């Protein structure tokens, strides 16, 4: 995914105050953050840059978070990106969602979930490298 030192988070949230609060908290925690105010804009950002983690609200204008999730898991280049869903609904997470957080949440809870998603992704990559045949 990322080739620079700071992990990239795509934050897709339509509520401006929440988006700004999460954006600030993630930046202060050492992440580079790209933001989108709706599902369509989030998909457009993904065309330009693949993040290390996606924070996704479900109740979005234009293209819902559920539709964004379906697009992500349908494509090989995005299906392995960990997704942290932040929602006020009683949504049962399908495969491909690392964690679901119910609003309201604090910034600390979100940052911890994003950090855990990155650690999980790193563990998966290490496991795959350990299983890969060596050319000794």
Of 121, 102, 4, 101, the C-alpha closest to 53 is 121
The helix/strand/coil state of 121 is: helix
pLDDT tens sequence across 50-83: 999 999 999 999 999 999 999 999 999 999 999 9
Q: What mean pLDDT comes out for the span 84-109?
A: 90
Of 27, 38, 12, the C-alpha closest to 107 is 27
> CA-to-CA distance for 73 and 71, rounded, in angstroms?
6
- Cβ proximity of 93 and 85 under 8 Å: yes
pLDDT tens sequence across 4-58: 589 999 999 999 999 999 999 999 999 999 999 999 999 999 999 999 999 999 9
User: Is the model's pTM score more than 0.75?
Assistant: yes
Q: Please report the DSSP string for 25-83 in residue order.
A: HHHHTT-EEEEESSHHHHHHHHHH---SEEEEESS-SSS-HHHHHHHHHHSTTTTTS-E
pLDDT of the residue at 135: 39
Domains and their CATH numbers in the chain: 8-131 (3.40.50.2300)
């Amino acid at each position: 995914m990322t080739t620079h030192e700071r992990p990239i988070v795509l934050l897709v949230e339509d509520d401006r105050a929440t988006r700004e609060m999460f954006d600030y908290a993630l930046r202060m925690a050492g992440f580079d953050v790209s933001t989108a105010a709706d599902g369509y804009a989030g998909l457009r950002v993904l065309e330009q840059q693949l993040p290390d983690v996606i924070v996704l609200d479900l109740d979005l204008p234009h293209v819902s978070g559920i539709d964004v999730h379906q697009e992500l898991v349908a494509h090989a280049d995005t299906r392995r990106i960990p997704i942290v869903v932040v929602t006020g609904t009683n949504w049962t997470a399908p495969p491909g969602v690392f964690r679901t957080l119910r609003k309201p949440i604090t910034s600390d809870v979100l940052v911890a979930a994003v950090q855990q998603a990155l650690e999980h992704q790193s563990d998966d990559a290490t496991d795959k490298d350990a299983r890969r045949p060596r050319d000794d």
